[in-house]
Structure 1
Amino acid sequence: MPLAGTLVDGQYHLVRPLGRGASSVVYFAVGRDGLAYAIKLFPPELRSHAEREYRNGAGLHHPRLARVLAATTVQNHPSLVLDFARGQVMFSRYVHRPSLRLHPRLGVMNFEPVQASNERRAYLLTLVHLLDALAHLHSVGIVHRDVKPENIIVDADGSARLVDFDLSGPVGERFESPLRIGTAAFLSPEALLGQPLGPESDLYGVGLLLHWGLYGELPSRDTPAGSLSADPLDSLRLALLGQDRQTRPVSAQQVRKELLHLAALPLL
């Protein structure tokens, strides 16, 4: 059913679809205030997903998180009004891979952190902003539980915002039976087993993205960490991809600090 042109709550005009996920479609909208918004529509049978995302996202106020502004209904679809995050999903933004190792002119591998290419700097900034977002989430007792490229919106310079909280929940949340939460390719070892998840599980997802930046592909499930390369960031990658959650970093702020130290870049 085409919804472009629909007026939502007397305030937001739906303009065009921005993207579709497994359980929702997101529209670009313009408010009566002239500002851009995103309206996320769920099918009627997934009202509980919309309600959960609203509960998890409504109180979040951080520049690296796309706020959930309001809950509403659009033609019987439970819906959410969101901050509009400008940019592209992460893997669409970084079409040249591996982004952390490509020389800007020669197209060859480059391990010199102080002479990093523009793409390396942009990719590092994306990871820094992702860690900022996760640090805030974790500080209020929430784990994202679906850290993946489709949920990271990246601008041209690498600035990023984390979106989509319908799978998020309290740190260590338990269910009546083991429940595998997240996207298959980005599940931590404990998520694969359906165990309660904590900050270290989100940081495993950061490790997967760091691996992708260094090698241009996701690691094998059989040998996720692989061996240590010459890149100074690789030691952090190995730590984040540890199979034992007890040995993995648990502080997004500390990982951010380590990332900046190893990269030798004055990113904010």
Structure 2
Amino acid sequence: MKIEKDALLQGRYQIEGLIGEGGMSYVYKAKDKKLGRIVAIKVLKEQYAEDKEFISKFQEEARSAAKLNHLNIVSTFDTVDEGNLHFIVMELVEGVTLKNFIQRKGRLSERESIGIALQLIDGIDIAHKMGVIHRDIKPQNIIISTEGVVKIADFGIAGVASQEAANTAVMGSVHYISPEQAKRGISDARSDIYSFSCVLYEMLTGKVPYAGEDSMSVVFSHLEDPIPRVRDSVKELSKAIDYIVWRGMQKKASLRYQNISDMGEDLQLALDDPEGSFLSEREEEGSRIFGRKEMDQGISNLYKGLAIASVILIAGVFLFLGYKVVGVLRSVKSISGESETAMKVTEESTQVAITISALDNLLPEIVGKTVSEAEDFLSNYDIHIYPEKEEYSDQYEEGQIISYPGGKYSTHSRLYVTLSKGPKDIRFYDPSAPSDLSELQKMSLSDLEIKLKDRKIAYTVVEEASDTVEKGYIIRTNKASTKEPGELLITVSSGQSTAPVLMPDLTNLSEEEAISVLEEEGLTLGNISYIPSNTVEKGYVISQSVPTETYVETGQAISFSVSSGSEGKSRNGQEKAWVSSINQSVSIGSGGPGVSGTVLVVVYLKQDINGETRYTTLQSARTYALGSEMQLSLNRIAGASGVSKGTIEVVDAENDRILASYDLDFHPEG
């Protein structure tokens, strides 16, 4: 069900626009007016909204997903059923999908791929432990936020969509589907591991593991074709990562990793040991390979038994000799000191101790830093820091790290920290200088309300007209901070005052004089038209949009026409003026909360006449607020006779910078 912009759902969620569409839903960006945050709203399409069985599954899975609370899972905030309207309110993550990220880069490096995979595994593992299976893991459902946090979306909800797709014989996400899902329509945590391994394959190689002319040929490949190896596509990839992806993509679920956390442990080992010396332990656990399957099958049990017996015999000989050597060394200990072997152990232990000690000494210094500052500070150790909680703090500014869990940390560790939300008491102005409200007046009411509601502070808002404070921003408060007793009273600007003004006479004034008079009277400048005249001197006002001696509201826009002289009028009643017109909104710079200033703007007409460029001033210099819009509306622009083309240039006069330009066609008048 499509929803129009600005629609209000549940009296709370105001739609800002459509941001995406999937097979089963529309996704909108919306503002949660109650909590003052931006959210994503996923609304079921009409064909699903009338299917009671589907709705029941959808609600059940959405409730399961809502229980998941993890940094690497897109949060589900609310589920709503209102007649035939069914929607889920979710966290809006600003960023790029993993699919787009791979397409932009071609393929990801091994280290980058593992880093993304480890973040995702943290989230998937939590979900699996809570009994929630995704069933549709694919790069399109994975988002890399602008802060570098990787999040997986549609947990549980994707399962309803995939079941519905199977029921309607439509195969979706076939490039990542597990054999058991494709063959029997069943899935468990190991099915997610298969799909996840396909995603890891794509990150490392830049392509999906199985491709085909149609969906069914891809599905058949998942069921029957040999498992592709990442090193066949990218030679420089390590043996360890090759094994990990291969094992995760086993056709039989019983041969894969049984828990995704086990896969995460191997990926962590692969960072430190790319050659995969740890893989020998995996063979003992029953994972039959590293390298080619045929290599393992070529070694008979007899040869393996002989090899083991030989190793045991050789080891026994060396142990016997070692025993004798140690006896001799002990006998001369007082003469020769500690053995070389003991020295080596001591040196290695010291080196490890120094490394741990150095990091332990550095970690306390991240307190008081932001996450990005802390990661830069610990860049030599490749420590990744993730905000886990937020608390109020009088000691640390908003966004600074307050604390982190104790324990031993090493290179590549993940560190979950507590961030400051700033002081619980909000300070509005310095009580020793109550007349200085400049900083307070840069704060919008909407931003302040979020902080007050979060702190559960009661307040009352009254509006007051202001010629100096922008509409929606704070003019003053009745106390210096929320720490002071009594209810908080906030006075917010409703914009400029609207006291009536007697319209002055602008005719026969110069253009500059007319603009000055409007400013003095508290009126704003509307459009200026330039009209040829044989009776009024060039540059002087001919007429005005509001009659003289009429009362108008303060701030009302007043337009007037100015004589452009006799140029452009017909000569001898034969030649006609060449004219054009324009009506455009021009953005004046980039303003915003806390950003102020003005821009001096001039409007020119540029034409090429007989090989020379001529500039004609259409609007003399006037001041506009930074971040405002200028309405460029000229009904009759007189150009050079016989010249059919021209360009309007809106210029920042102080910096000689073109803010906007528009090409115009000129035609004979009449």
The TM-score bracket by the shorter chain reads: 0.7 to 0.9
Q: Which shifted more, 216-225 or 127-136? A: 216-225
SS in 2 for 1:93: helix
Quote the RMSD (CA, aligned, Å): 2.6
Conserved 8 A contact 1:15-1:27: yes
Conserved 8 A contact 2:204-2:230: no
> Are the structure 2 counterparts of residues 157 and 208 from structure 1 closer, same or farther at C-alpha, using a change threshold of 3 Å?
farther
Q: CA deviation at 1:195?
A: 4.3
Q: CA deviation at 1:157?
A: 5.6
User: How far does the alpha carbon of each residue in 1:99-126 deviate from its partner, in whole angstroms, 9 at most, with x for none?
Assistant: 126xxxxxxxxxxxxxxxxxx43x3332
Q: CA deviation at 1:217?
A: 0.1
SS in 2 for 1:168: helix
> Are the structure 2 counterparts of residues 27 and 236 from structure 1 closer, same or farther at C-alpha, using a change threshold of 3 Å?
same
Q: Matches of 2:28 and 2:170 in 1, distance apart?
A: 28
Q: Percent identity?
A: 21
Long gaps (5+) in structure 1: 102-119
- Aligned 1:151-170 pairs, distance under 5 A: 151-156=141-146, 158-164=148-154, 165-168=156-159
- Out of 88, 91, 104, which is 2:99 matched to? 91
2:22 maps to which residue? 21
Q: Which shifted more, 241-250 or 65-74? A: 65-74
- Out of 134, 139, 151, which is 1:149 matched to? 139
- Aligned 1:1-268 pairs, distance under 5 A: 1-32=2-33, 33-47=35-49, 48=55, 50-73=58-81, 76-94=84-102, 95-100=104-109, 120-121=111-112, 123-156=113-146, 158-164=148-154, 165-168=156-159, 183-220=173-210, 221=221, 222-226=225-229, 228=231, 229-232=235-238, 233-264=241-272, 266=412, 268=414
Q: Which shifted more, 7-16 or 130-139? A: 7-16
SS in 2 for 1:138: helix
User: What amino acid is aligned across from residue 23 of structure 1 in structure 2?
Assistant: M
> Are the structure 2 counterparts of residues 62 and 227 from structure 1 closer, same or farther at C-alpha, using a change threshold of 3 Å?
closer
> Are the structure 2 counterparts of residues 100 and 267 from structure 1 closer, same or farther at C-alpha, using a change threshold of 3 Å?
farther
Long gaps (5+) in structure 2: 50-54, 211-220, 273-381, 383-411, 415-670
User: How far does the alpha carbon of each residue in 1:151-209 deviate from its partner, in whole angstroms, 9 at most, with x for none?
Assistant: 1111246421111132338xxx9xxx9x9986222101111112421111101111111
- Greater length-normalized contact order (CA 8 Å, ≥ 6 residues apart): 1
Q: Matches of 2:184 and 2:172 in 1, distance apart?
A: 10
User: What TM-score does the superposition give when structure 1 sets the normalisation length?
Assistant: 0.81
SS in 2 for 1:99: coil
Q: Matches of 1:30 and 1:93 in 2, distance apart?
A: 27
Larger radius of gyration: 2
Conserved 8 A contact 1:128-1:256: yes
> Are the structure 2 counterparts of residues 227 and 256 from structure 1 closer, same or farther at C-alpha, using a change threshold of 3 Å?
closer
Q: CA deviation at 1:211?
A: 0.8
Q: CA deviation at 1:67?
A: 2.2
Greater fraction of residues in strand: 2
Q: Matches of 2:159 and 2:413 in 1, distance apart?
A: 28
Q: CA deviation at 1:72?
A: 1.7
